[in-house]
Amino acid sequence: MRPLQLGIPNQQVFSDTLLELAKRDRNILVVTSDSRGSGRLVAFGKQLPDQIVEIGIAEQNLVGVAAGLAAEGKCVFAVSPACFLTARGLEQIKNDVAYSDRPVKLVGISAGVSYGALGSTHHSLHDLAVLQAINNIDIVIPADNFETRAAVLAAISHPRPLYLRLGKKPMHHLHAPDADFTIGKASRVRRGDDVAFLATGETVEIAVQAADLLVERGVGAEVLSIHTLRPFDEPAVLEVARRVQAIVTVEEHSVYGGLGSRVATLLMQAGVTPSLRIVGIPDEYTYTGSQMEIFAHYGITPSGLATTAEALLEGKRMAA
């Protein structure tokens, strides 16, 4: 396998793409909560000062104002660290955006454990759980630069409220530039018939590296980038679940209420039951360290995921 090529942070792709689009369309606005630095929006603010609305550190007002701007037909990207946006601003997301059906694009930056050693105040391991429990908000978590750019392009005309979850570390390229990207359709990154990694966001590239390790050991490993949690691509997940022996879900989120829970719910209710392991951040006081150190602690590494997959396959064989 050719090693993956390193790109740039998805947050940078987001801001570059948005600046390019906003230069051509005055209706595109960014609303931000003193978060231009982490949002990589300094250039946007300098080049398009009339299209950026600074709210200060006030996430409730950030979301409410964004809803009001969207009500008047503005194409609004509300950008704030995911940890604060989806906790401090949650009731505004629920009522002013989702319930009131305002197509605001909520952009949660430095999501998951991107902020690493800053500690749990700055982690968002709850956002997918709470947003999945709120009706009328689509959830997109791009894996690489390609998916991020495609998601921003799609978000512009997306008719419903949307949550875009982004991280801050440079990401490896997973897709060809001419790949397909549709909100609500899972993207296959690797094809294999023994085990499948269903991963989302910044963990997809780790799942791909795990799959490549498994192939070297003679195990066929599929990788789907579940870049959209809602609407959830049930047909794609069911198709792969019927084909493989074991599924490992991987996410930078609590093991409760995120991708793994969504997959388990679907498979149990459909009566499709391959061996399943949900890999994410467990229900404990989160380990301290950088994003990569936290990932390593919880087995979210190429070798860790490969070992998890092999153990699942071995268990399946023992049971058979």
Partner 1 sequence: MQIAELEYKSIQYRRAILSSIAHAGAGHTGGSLSCTDILNVLYNHVMRVDPRNPAWSERDRYIHSKGHSVEALYVVLADKGFFPAEKLKTMNRGGSHWVGHPTRKVPGIEQNTGALGHGLSVAVGMALAARMDGRKHRVFTLLGDGELTEGSVWEASMSAAFYRLDNLVVIVDRNTLQITGRTEDVMALEPLEERFTAFGYAVRTVDGNDVAALVDIFAQTPFAPGKPSMIIARTTKGKGVSFIEDAAEWHHHVPTADELARALAELDQAELRWQERYATITTRHSESTGLF
User: Would you count residue 64 as binding partner 1 (CB under 8 A)?
Assistant: yes
CB of 230 to partner 1, least distance (A): 20
Give the residue from 111, 108, 73 showing the smallest Cα distance to 93. 108
Task: Name the one range near partner 1 by CB under 8 A: 3-11, 61-69, 251-259, 306-314.
Answer: 61-69
- Measured from the CB atom, is 92 or 132 closer to partner 1? 92
Which candidate, 240, 312, 249, places its Cα nearest to that of 272? 240
What's the closest the beta carbon of residue 208 comes to partner 1, in angstroms?
41
Stretch that binds partner 1, among 92-100, 130-138, 206-214, 238-246 (CB under 8 A): 92-100
- How would you class 63 by CB atoms within 10 Å of its CB: exposed for 0-12, middle for 13-18, buried for 19 or more? buried
State how far the Cα of 71 lies from the Cα of 100, in Å rounded to an integer. 9
Interface positions, 19-58, toward partner 1 (CB under 8 A): 50, 53, 55-56, 58
* Residue of 3, 49, 73, 271 that binds partner 1 (CB under 8 A): 73
Q: Which of 20, 25, 101, 180 contacts partner 1 by CB under 8 A?
A: 101
Between CA 274 and CA 129 the distance in angstroms is: 24
The answer to the question of residue 74 lying near partner 1 (CB under 8 A) is yes
Is 264 near partner 1 (CB under 8 A)?
no
70 binds partner 1 (CB under 8 A): yes
- Which residues bind to partner 1, rule: CB under 8 A? 50, 53, 55-56, 58, 60-61, 63-74, 91-92, 95-96, 99-101
